């Protein structure tokens, strides 16, 4: 006989005291931390505990007794459901304070390294419409709100285009308007949705893994160009005709799209780095510009999603590098070579390494179109490329700039960096927690001399951070 679970408690008249990581707020009850989504410091609430562990609880608000004076009305109609902008109900100035504290706490608590004073965070010039890329999933299982479920309403059409809901991988919450990108992207996405509805196009079933319309990526650039990539799952002979009819509709309705592309993806996941991308109309790329340089961005290329803040970020990295023109620089996780090309004018030579071969080809093109001749780029897994043999062949770097993914650097990469012993390391990170872990590994040989947080993602808990390490 299974043991009956003890009911989780209702906590009454609890004050929310701080903003926590992952977009949550927190309260303290009997020396235990309680994490609460969608709350703000100063709220007085009743909380229903949903999860209880030895040292913390997770709860949700079931009643407000008093709303915090910090609260303001969120801009987005989808706030509280879609899960993207977790802090829209908190003023941007307060978000910046929380991100500053998050960086300091994680570097000290996880890294346990000696830190200089952390510089004040550089906030984004734009709170909304700051992104240059958004990705939307298509599903035949629309996420229903609690109110919709409780009403007993039935839906003839359960297809949806939008964002995945946490904890329900096969369901998508339909988005009518997202404020994170120029409003043209809403027009494009909703037109694709309406055409698919009217034409009877099937939407992808994530469990059964079939259905024609699968995924939509929309990108724009500061040159005014637009790229749209539609992923289909074409399994039947007629599917290609249906897909191309949709693409023609999009091309006719939105003539400003300069790169209209499509992918036939029959895999179990939405990644298409190993699949061919087909051009339906226009080019296979768009261009971004930065400080007089032009950067080619292809469908598989990584480019920072907040263009204006990327410029701020790269200026900090260049400043921390302290280049005089005589240095050999390794740019790890170079992507399309944005940082490498951005700093090349002030270095003797820059070598960029990146996992995605297509991004490396774009990096080479970016050097060529900007007349940059002192860069070299290599494609492959970082831990396999950056070896002692590689540094023996190309020379030990004077400076390393590293901008790894959220998981941070592989331990083998850290050890190779330590053996090459550059004078300076400029560590750019989108995850201060894994950055702190790596700083601890580097601490014996390197001292942290400067820390500069940069906010790329208003209304989300994410923050970029740049750290300068100097050889002891």
Q: Rounded to whole angstroms, what are the CA distances from 224 to 220, 255, 310?
A: 7, 13, 17
User: What DSSP string describes 122-136?
Assistant: B--S-SSS--SEEEE
C-alpha to C-alpha distance for 282 and 301, rounded to whole angstroms:
17
Structure tokens at 104: 């300091």
Structure tokens at 50: 């949903």
Q: What is the CA radius of gyration of the chain?
A: 24
* Inter-helix orientation angle 432-442/92-106, to 10°: 30
Predicted local confidence at residue 302, as pLDDT: 82
> Using an 8 Å Cβ cutoff, are 89 and 75 in contact?
no
C-alpha to C-alpha distance for 80 and 146, rounded to whole angstroms:
12
User: How far apart, in Å, do the first and last CA atoms of the chain sit?
Assistant: 62
C-alpha to C-alpha distance for 85 and 287, rounded to whole angstroms:
27
One digit per residue, the tens of pLDDT, for the chain of length 472 reads: 456 677 899 999 999 999 887 889 999 998 899 999 999 999 999 999 999 998 899 999 999 999 999 999 999 999 988 878 999 999 999 999 999 999 999 999 999 999 999 999 999 999 999 999 999 999 999 998 777 777 777 778 899 999 998 777 789 999 999 999 999 999 999 999 999 999 999 999 999 999 999 999 999 999 999 999 999 999 988 999 999 999 999 999 999 999 999 999 999 998 998 999 999 999 999 999 999 999 999 998 888 999 999 999 999 999 999 999 999 999 999 988 999 999 999 999 999 999 888 889 989 999 999 999 999 999 988 888 888 899 999 999 999 999 999 999 999 999 999 999 999 999 999 999 999 999 999 999 999 999 999 999 999 999 999 999 999 9
- 218: enclosing H helix or E strand: strand 213-220
**201 DSSP 8-state letter:** P
C-alpha to C-alpha distance for 329 and 331, rounded to whole angstroms:
6
DSSP helix/strand/coil, 418: helix
In this structure, is the dihedral angle defined by the CA atoms of residues 196, 202, 208 and 214, taken in order, positive or negative?
negative
**How many Cβ atoms are within 10 Å of 57's Cβ, its own excluded?**
20
> Using an 8 Å Cβ cutoff, are 372 and 397 in contact?
no
Contacts of 210 by beta carbon, 8 Å cutoff, 6+ apart: 202, 204, 233, 235
Predicted local confidence at residue 323, as pLDDT: 97
Structure tokens at 356: 């995605």
Structure tokens at 127: 């709170």
C-alpha to C-alpha distance for 131 and 459, rounded to whole angstroms:
12
C-alpha to C-alpha distance for 96 and 341, rounded to whole angstroms:
30
C-alpha to C-alpha distance for 284 and 343, rounded to whole angstroms:
26
- 13: enclosing H helix or E strand: strand 10-15
Secondary structure of 228-284 in HEC code, one letter for each residue: EEEEECCCCCCHHHHHHHHHHHHHHHCCCEEEEEEEECCCCCCCCCCCCCEEEEECC
- Tell me, yes or no, if 82 is annotated catalytic: no
C-alpha to C-alpha distance for 190 and 194, rounded to whole angstroms:
6
Residue-level length of the chain: 472
- 307: enclosing H helix or E strand: helix 307-321
C-alpha to C-alpha distance for 327 and 312, rounded to whole angstroms:
22
DSSP helix/strand/coil, 162: strand
Name the catalytic one among 85, 138, 178, 430: 430
Exposed (0-12), middle (13-18) or buried (19+): which is 107, by Cβ within 10 Å?
Answer: buried
């Amino acid at each position: 006989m299974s043991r009956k679970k003890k009911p989780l408690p209702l906590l009454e008249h609890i004050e929310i005291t701080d903003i926590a990581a992952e977009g949550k707020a927190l309260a303290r009850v009997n020396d235990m931390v309680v994490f609460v989504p969608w709350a703000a410091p100063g709220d007085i609430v009743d909380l229903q505990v949903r999860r209880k562990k030895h040292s913390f609880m997770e709860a949700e608000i079931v009643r407000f007794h008093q709303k915090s004076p910090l609260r303001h009305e969120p801009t987005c109609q989808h706030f509280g459901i879609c899960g993207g902008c977790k802090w829209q109900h908190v003023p941007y100035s307060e978000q910046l304070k929380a991100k500053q504290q998050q960086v300091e706490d994680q570097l000290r608590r996880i890294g346990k390294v000696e830190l200089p004073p952390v510089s004040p965070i550089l906030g984004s010039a734009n709170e909304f419409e700051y992104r240059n890329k958004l990705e939307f999933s298509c599903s035949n299982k629309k996420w229903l709100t609690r109110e919709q479920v409780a009403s007993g309403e039935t839906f003839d059409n359960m297809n949806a285009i939008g964002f995945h809901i946490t904890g329900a991988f096969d369901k998508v919450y339909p988005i009518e308007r997202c404020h994170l990108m120029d409003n043209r992207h809403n027009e494009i996405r909703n037109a694709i949705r309406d055409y698919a509805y009217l034409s009877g196009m099937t939407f992808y079933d994530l469990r059964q893994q079939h259905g024609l319309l699968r995924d939509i990526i929309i990108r724009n650039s500061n040159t005014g160009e637009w790229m749209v990539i539609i992923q289909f799952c074409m399994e039947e002979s007629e599917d290609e005709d249906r897909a191309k009819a949709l693409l023609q509709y999009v091309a006719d309705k939105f003539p400003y799209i300069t790169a209209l592309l499509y992918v036939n993806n029959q895999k179990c996941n939405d990644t298409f780095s190993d699949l061919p991308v087909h051009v339906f109309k226009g080019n296979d790329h768009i261009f971004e510009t930065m400080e007089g340089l032009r950067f080619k961005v292809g469908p598989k290329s990584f480019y920072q999603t907040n263009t204006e803040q990327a410029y701020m970020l790269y200026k900090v990295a260049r400043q921390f590098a302290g280049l005089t023109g005589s240095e050999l620089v390794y740019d790890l996780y170079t992507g399309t070579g944005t940082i490498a090309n951005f700093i090349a004018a002030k270095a003797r030579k820059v070598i960029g390494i990146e996992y995605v071969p297509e991004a490396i080809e774009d990096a080479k093109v970016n050097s060529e179109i900007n007349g940059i001749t002192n860069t070299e780029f290599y494609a492959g897994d970082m831990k396999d490329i950056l070896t002692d043999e590689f540094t023996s062949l190309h020379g030990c770097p004077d400076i390393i700039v590293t901008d790894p993914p959220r998981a941070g650097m592989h331990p083998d990469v850290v050890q190779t960096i330590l053996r090459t012993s550059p004078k300076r390391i400029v560590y750019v990170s989108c995850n201060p927690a894994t950055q702190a872990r790596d700083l601890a590994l580097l601490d014996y040989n390197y001292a942290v001399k400067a820390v500069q947080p940069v906010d790329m993602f208003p209304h989300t808990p994410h923050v970029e951070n740049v750290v300068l390490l100097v050889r002891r």
